[in-house]
């Protein structure tokens, strides 16, 4: 189910445009509008789920679908062989700006650790 107040749900519905990289029945991947690396994608499940704590037993397959979609997008976009980082922020203190579970996918330059 989508949330009419969520910006990612609006992107999923097509009410807000995005630079789509990959889409299937369960996942949408698009370019971040404020990239932190040469490649910065956002992978979102199409079912609104605010945080990992909100994953119910019925949603346990969601993250597997998101990870599989990220792998496909990485190959399609040509950065899989160079490597990439996946990052999930959960909650405001962790830097989550949109309350819809999403994975940041970063690539295109060396990525140090810990992230800044």
Asked whether residue 35 is assigned to any structural domain, the reply reads yes
Asked whether residue 115 is assigned to any structural domain, the reply reads no
Identify the sign of the CA torsion 98, 87, 64, 15: positive
Asked whether residue 75 is assigned to any structural domain, the reply reads yes
Q: How many domains does the chain have?
A: 1
Asked whether residue 113 is assigned to any structural domain, the reply reads no
Instruction: Return the pLDDT at 116.
Output: 61
Q: Which of 40, 48, 100, 102 is catalytic?
A: 102
Region of 108 please: left (phi>0), alpha (psi -120 to 50) or beta.
Answer: left
- Give residue 43's domain range: 7-107
Instruction: Return the pLDDT at 2.
Output: 86
Of residues 44, 49, 42, the one with CA closest to residue 104: 42
What tokens does 113 get? 């650790």
Asked whether residue 79 is assigned to any structural domain, the reply reads yes
Express each pLDDT in 66-81 by its tens digit. 999 999 999 999 999 9
* Percent of the chain with pLDDT strictly greater than 70: 99
Express each pLDDT in 34-52 by its tens digit. 999 999 999 999 999 999 9
Asked whether residue 112 is assigned to any structural domain, the reply reads no
Q: What is the mean pLDDT of the chain?
A: 95
Give the mean model confidence (pLDDT) for residues 97-111: 96
Of residues 44, 40, 39, 19, the one with CA closest to residue 30: 19
Q: What is the CATH number of the domain that holds 35?
A: 3.30.428.10
What is this structure's pTM? 0.94
C-alpha separations of 93 from 51, 89, 96 in Å: 13, 9, 7
Asked whether residue 84 is assigned to any structural domain, the reply reads yes
Instruction: Return the pLDDT at 115.
Output: 72
What tokens does 26 get? 């369960």
Helix (H, G, I), strand (E, B) or coil at 73: helix
Asked whether residue 71 is assigned to any structural domain, the reply reads yes
Bridging pattern class, strands 85-87 and 39-45: unpaired
Is 48 known to be catalytic? no
Phi and psi for 83 in degrees, rounded to 5? 105, 155
């Amino acid at each position: 189910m989508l949330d009419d107040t969520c910006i990612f749900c609006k992107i999923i519905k097509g009410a807000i445009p995005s630079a789509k990289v990959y889409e299937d029945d369960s996942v949408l991947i698009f370019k971040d509008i404020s990239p932190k690396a040469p490649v910065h994608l956002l992978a979102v499940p199409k079912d609104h789920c605010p945080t990992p704590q909100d994953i119910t037993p019925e949603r346990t397959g969601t993250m597997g679908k998101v990870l599989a979609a990220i792998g496909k997008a990485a190959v399609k976009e040509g950065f899989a062989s160079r490597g990439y980082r996946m990052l999930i922020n959960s909650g405001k203190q962790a830097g989550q700006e949109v309350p819809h579970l999403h994975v940041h996918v970063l690539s295109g330059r060396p990525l140090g650790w810990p992230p800044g």
